[in-house]
Structure 1
């Protein structure tokens, strides 16, 4: 335990020094704007505390109507829906067995209750895949607009009752003419998570990061992965085309083309889309 604190303190000093020298500029600087092309969405998803929703039906309707001004706004302007933070009940501590750790991509406490889940992550050692649940604070459920197809929070994506398939294609032009080619393939629905939607940096240097308990689509979320170590975090992009089956039975093709703003800010997303597909 003493060694851990020594490593943590040393890491804090290194991180503080590198932050002062500008290595964190791409995390904290205000992003610059990118103009979307036809069939693109440009979203500033850099906020740690907001979800942003995309309505593919609305985008299609505006395209058919030829309302270019309204379409441009729908492609670039997204209302923020804050993650609920206010406690609706008492904090619940659930100590785990000494030495126990969980995989960030799979294990949860199985409570599946809306709220803030605090985990300790081994950010200066084995990395974020080594983590331990510490406590839970109940909150209200996440709010959402009446109509939406998928939602984004930084590198997290969820669907509105949909399911997703990752293809081997790396260009929208490579897709089969019709989504019929994918109808009999296995699509993955959203899954509950409580340690992946990180929504605060305040205690990150000590390894403690609160996350929102919510269902995510891990297949679609795989288009942008974050790794710690190193510090600052490294990001990697998966440029495969994904097929989204919406709850109404319609299909869309989605591809993350870029996750950087012109100034290097991460989680500033350029998304190619085809809907209906």
Structure 2
């Protein structure tokens, strides 16, 4: 009798185990994979910010993009009114610092030319988008016994600055022309926090990663990690940062250098025709992409929408799997 009870118990346990295993397979979509597809929507509407995202913890954070502030190295030429050009000085550092909004300040501390020594040129100016870059304009500033009037422009990583000064009681102006190249950009230090991809309107970049197009539209059907074909980010000088002057016929749009991934950028594309933008300007590839992260891990991603429920463009939704093995 005891043997019969024992056999009945064993059959019951085996049956429960079998049905439990079948139930788990059904939850995973047929048992082909145990991966979890996650979905997220990020607000990437701001032109002056990157929205950074970490696959590992699913967190995002936005940081402003800096178009001009930083440390430049370049040369100056000195002209004295009525006397002509007095020569040049090479390898001088110019430090441009953002105060707030469109207000910047600059410091050319190493200015030391002939009898004009120990003159620290410092002043403020405002930055505005222009047809080819950014215009720097400033009013007349009195610093100690020096009257300073700065103006110039920033285009990509280059700065051109004309500083008109009149030290002390001199009857003529000193015109300092500075031309420099960016060495260290100001703003957020992207190495100070964890992130894998960043979104900017319809632009996408990776954190020292690379990506490929799987040519598949169903994220669950991409089941193996491709061995090759990944494309790294490339530099661009055309990241649109300020659209306040977009009016035709002479648009003044502020661009800044950055990096983006040309493969991932095809996930959500924006066309400049027609203008002003309509729904026809936006298109989606519906493709699944695999991203090779800086850590050597992989993630797969599919962009699913580019607007929120109110049809505001720049709210980017995507499905992803991490880690993808």
1:100 corresponding residue in structure 2 = none
> 175, 199, 205: which one pairs with 2:241?
199
Q: How does 1:24-173 map to 2 (within 5 A)?
A: 39-59=38-58, 74=59, 78-88=60-70, 135-136=155-156, 137=159, 139-140=185-186, 142-144=188-190, 145-173=192-220
Contact kept? 1:252, 1:273, Cα under 8 Å: yes
Matches within 5 A, 1:233-252: 233=277, 234-252=281-299
RMSD: 2.8
Give yes or no for the alignment of 1:255 onto 2:281.
no
Runs of 4+ in 1 over 3 A off after TM superposition: 85-90, 116-121, 134-139
Q: Distance in 1 between matches of 2:261 and 2:251?
A: 25
CA distance in 1, matches of 2:130, 2:289: 31
Structure 2 runs not aligned, ≥5 long: 1-35, 75-127, 134-153, 160-181
Is the contact made by 2:64 and 2:187 (CA closer than 8 Å) also made in structure 1? no
Local SS of the residue matching 2:220: helix
**Aligned residue pairs: how many?**
184
Give the Å deviation of 1:232: 1.9
8 Å contact from structure 2 (residues 37, 320) kept in 1: no
Any idea what the Cα deviations from partners look like across 1:109-144, whole Å, max 9, x if unmatched? xxxxxxx996559xxxxxxxxxxxx93455525532
Could you say if the C-alpha distance between residues 157 and 172 of structure 1 is closer, same or farther in structure 2, counting changes exceeding 3 Å? Answer: same
- Extract unaligned runs of 5+ from structure 1: 1-36, 60-73, 93-115, 122-133
Aligned counterparts of 1:186 and 1:157: Cα–Cα separation in 2:
18
Change (3 A) 1:118 1:161: farther
Find the counterpart in structure 1 of residue 275 from structure 2: 231
CA distance in 2: counterparts of 1:214 and 1:157, whole angstroms: 11
- Report the CA distance shift for 1:223/1:135 in structure 2 as closer, same or farther (over 3 A): same
In the other structure, the counterpart of 2:230 is: 187
Secondary structure of the structure 2 residue equivalent to 1:253: strand
TM-score, normalized by length of structure 1? 0.60
Cα distance in 2 for residues equivalent to 1:120 and 1:207: 10
1:220 is matched with which residue? 264
More strand by share: 2
Give, in angstroms, the shift of residue 147 of structure 1.
1.2
Higher Rg: 2
Alpha-carbon contact 2:129-2:252 (below 8 Å) kept: no
TM-score (norm 2): 0.52
CA deviation string 1:136-184 (max 9, x = no partner): 45552553242111111111111111000011111112212x31xx11x
Which of structures 1 and 2 has the larger relative contact order (alpha carbons within 8 angstroms, sep 6+)? Answer: 1
